[in-house]
Amino acid sequence: MNPYFEAATETLPRPQLRELQLRRLQELLDEILPSNAFYSAKLGTQRRVDSWDAYRELPFTTKQEIAQDQLEQPPYGTNVTYPLEQYIKLHQTSGTTGKAPIRVLDTEASWEWWARCWGHVYRGAGIGPGDRVFFAFSFGPFIGFWAAYEGARTVGAMSVPGGGMQTDQRLAAIFDNGITALCCTPTYALRLAEEARRLGLDLAGSSIHSTVHAGEPGASVPGVRARIEAAFRAQCHDHTGMTELGASGFTCQERSGVHLIESEFIFEVIDPRTLEPVAPGGQGELVATNLGRAGMPLIRYRTGDLVQVDESPCTCARTFARLPHGIMGRADDMVVVRGMNVFPSAIEGVLREFPEVSEFRIEVFRRRSMAELKVLLEPLPDSADDLAERAAERLQDRLLLRIPCELVPGGSLPRFELKARRVVQRED
């Protein structure tokens, strides 16, 4: 099977890929600025962006800004390029405590664009004609379910919805229909595996060859990925995306990180404190511009996602940059330790790679205006004695910072059911 969705752009040398991005951005600006009140107020009605320096002069867009705009101009705000009758889909973000969800509209053209972006995700996961893709989630107001369902047709695969079903019914649907690919959250994949074991079903012997996950960083965490792959005897793939932004990334057969779909987006990584670009390969907040959603575009949108980007060529021959560790956490939890930006969520990501860590806590000490970190680890019974040293070593490799790790007795750290709070701030 053709491993690419759009071989010509996926393998473009990077200088040409970057030119393509600037060209598409200018086309987008020419299309939206005359009629989009939100962006013409931010950028003017005649903006030209003919260089990367000019690009970096464009103001950022934040989620709060979009939410505020929709509050002031309900229900859809002013980031609406066309008359409402040209839009054919409405979805919304989940919204967090005390915050209203953002509503997003798509036109026929931008819905087609969503489907194409998903085409990259499927092809990356080796899914194409003859495949039957099962969607094991409730089809709610979030866009991910619907876009994934829609996108399967762009690679000639069959979509099989699994909404409104119990886990055992979903398992039956997987076996009855000879399902070959599964889309769900990493947590739910493990739940399916657990239920299959309980029912005596041989999931590893099913025809599923690929699983595609989003919504949680699990599929890029080696420990979680290994568990899913063992349970399904299938390749486990990660995918990144946001309702308001689009389906932005996928893993290829090499699974050497999440490829960013640079033919449809422009990506940057910034220091969330200074808003300046980070050094190549450094950690920071992912900023993205979507190039194919003219009806409700986002330009230099601060995703809040913490990433590290690798632009070196992938063995799959795609030139799209990669996130070697997927989304590592949230950028807004950053602390400065000995002059270095440190993201506790990135520490969490590294600790989760150790299956023998049953619970952990990251302590942030603040002395005057200086911060220091310490990690407490609760090992599973029978773990090797050097767990703390190995964890500290990997943290040093990954974050280039020495962070002391200490073992604590089993059961001594608090357990969480939902929103875990494993980062503790201390003042002294």
Work out how close the CB of 262 gets to Zn ion at its nearest, in angstroms, rounded to a whole number.
12
- Residue closer to Zn ion by CB (options 321, 392) is 321
Fill in the per-residue mask, 209 to 248: x = in contact with Zn ion (CB under 5 A), - = not in contact. Answer: ----------------------------------------
3-state secondary structure of 250: strand
Work out how close the CB of 249 gets to Zn ion at its nearest, in angstroms, rounded to a whole number.
11
Size of the site for Zn ion (CB under 5 A): 5
Distance CA 378, CA 121 (A): 37
Token pair of 396 as six digits: 């040093």
Distance CA 352, CA 220 (A): 11
Please tell me whether residue 254 binds Zn ion under the rule CB under 5 A: yes
- Residue closer to Zn ion by CB (options 252, 321) is 252
Distance CA 281, CA 278 (A): 8
Alpha carbon dihedral 258, 215, 186, 420, in 10-degree steps, equals 120
- Residue closer to Zn ion by CB (options 258, 286) is 258
Site for Zn ion in 260-319 (CB under 5 A): 314, 316, 318
- Residue closer to Zn ion by CB (options 42, 120) is 120
Sign of the CA dihedral running 165, 418, 102, 238: negative
Residue 304 Cα to chain centre, angstroms = 11
Question: Distance of CA 265 to CAs 121, 274, 415, Å?
Answer: 14, 23, 39
3-state secondary structure of 213: strand
Between the two ends of the chain, the Cα-to-Cα distance in Å is: 61
Work out how close the CB of 320 gets to Zn ion at its nearest, in angstroms, rounded to a whole number.
8
Contact 47, 57 (CB under 8 A): no
CB atoms within 10 A of CB 121: 31
Which has the closest alpha carbon to 134: 180, 98, 97, 103? 180
DSSP 221-247: SHHHHHHHHHHHTSEEEEEEEETTTEE
Work out how close the CB of 318 gets to Zn ion at its nearest, in angstroms, rounded to a whole number.
5
Contact 349, 328 (CB under 8 A): yes
- Residue closer to Zn ion by CB (options 125, 252) is 252
Fill in the per-residue mask, 311 to 350: x = in contact with Zn ion (CB under 5 A), - = not in contact. Answer: ---x-x-x--------------------------------
Work out how close the CB of 265 gets to Zn ion at its nearest, in angstroms, rounded to a whole number.
17
Work out how close the CB of 303 gets to Zn ion at its nearest, in angstroms, rounded to a whole number.
21
- Residue closer to Zn ion by CB (options 252, 347) is 252
Work out how close the CB of 322 gets to Zn ion at its nearest, in angstroms, rounded to a whole number.
7
- Residue closer to Zn ion by CB (options 312, 396) is 312
Site for Zn ion in 136-195 (CB under 5 A): none
The count of C-alpha atoms lying within 13 angstroms of the C-alpha of 169, restricted to the half-sphere facing its C-beta, is 9
- Residue closer to Zn ion by CB (options 249, 379) is 249
Distance CA 138, CA 187 (A): 14
Work out how close the CB of 16 gets to Zn ion at its nearest, in angstroms, rounded to a whole number.
18
3-state secondary structure of 294: coil
Please tell me whether residue 117 binds Zn ion under the rule CB under 5 A: no
Which has the closest alpha carbon to 80: 283, 293, 223, 242? 293
- Residue closer to Zn ion by CB (options 249, 344) is 249
Please tell me whether residue 252 binds Zn ion under the rule CB under 5 A: yes
- Residue closer to Zn ion by CB (options 237, 300) is 237
Work out how close the CB of 37 gets to Zn ion at its nearest, in angstroms, rounded to a whole number.
40
Work out how close the CB of 210 gets to Zn ion at its nearest, in angstroms, rounded to a whole number.
15
Q: Write out the residues near Zn ion by the rule CB under 5 A.
A: 252, 254, 314, 316, 318
